[in-house]
Amino acid sequence: MTIANFLMTNSTFGNLININFTPKELYENFKVRKATRVLIFNTQNKIALLHETVKNYHSLPGGQVEANETPLESAKRECLEETGFEINNIKFIGVVREVLSGNEILNDSNIFIATKTGEQLKLSPQEDSEKIQY
């Protein structure tokens, strides 16, 4: 069984990553930022990573959930903006909480898995410094 198949079929996987080890008193006054991240699988079951060439780091496609959208809508929008791909077979697998002490922010990332559809569309101008790698 591939990782992609496991994630698509295992309904309890989200429970495994929804663990909080940071004591609440350390972050109870922090601002909460809702975000999304998407593991996009290609036809070879490889995961798309964005390589930010200016700062030289890799990340999963995703970003902040806007005030007028759901996490699912945000995941679709961010994937299209950052990779040029529309996504399908979307499944929510859990929430990862990052405690960003320096900025006093709790980053709650809704994690989805998906597959890309069709051909790559044109990337938005703001995403020019990023390249997709598998």
Q: What is the pLDDT of residues 71-126, one digit of tens each?
A: 999 999 999 998 888 999 999 998 988 887 788 888 899 999 999 887 766 655 55
Tell me, what DSSP letter sits at residue 88? E
Model confidence at 17, in pLDDT bands (50, 70, 90)?
very low
- pLDDT at residue 18 tops 50: no
Tokens 């390249």 locate to 131
CB atoms within 10 A of CB 92: 14
Residue-level pLDDT at 34: 95
Coil, strand, or helix at residue 119?
Answer: coil
Order of strands, sheet of 57-59, starting from the edge strand that comes earlier in the sequence: 57-59, 49-52, 130-133
Residue-level pLDDT at 118: 72
Q: Buried (b) or exposed (e) across 93-108, using 16+ Cβ within 10 A?
A: bebebebeeeeeebbb
Q: Does CATH place domain 26-127 in 3.40.1080.10?
A: no
Q: Supply the pTM of this predicted model.
A: 0.76
Coil, strand, or helix at residue 83?
Answer: helix
pLDDT (average), residues 58-62: 91
* % residues pLDDT > 70 (the chain): 74
Q: How far apart are CA 10 and CA 22, in angstroms?
A: 27
Mean pLDDT check: name the lowest of 7-16, 53-62, 105-114.
Answer: 7-16
Residue-level pLDDT at 122: 60
Q: How far apart are CA 125 and CA 127, in angstroms?
A: 5
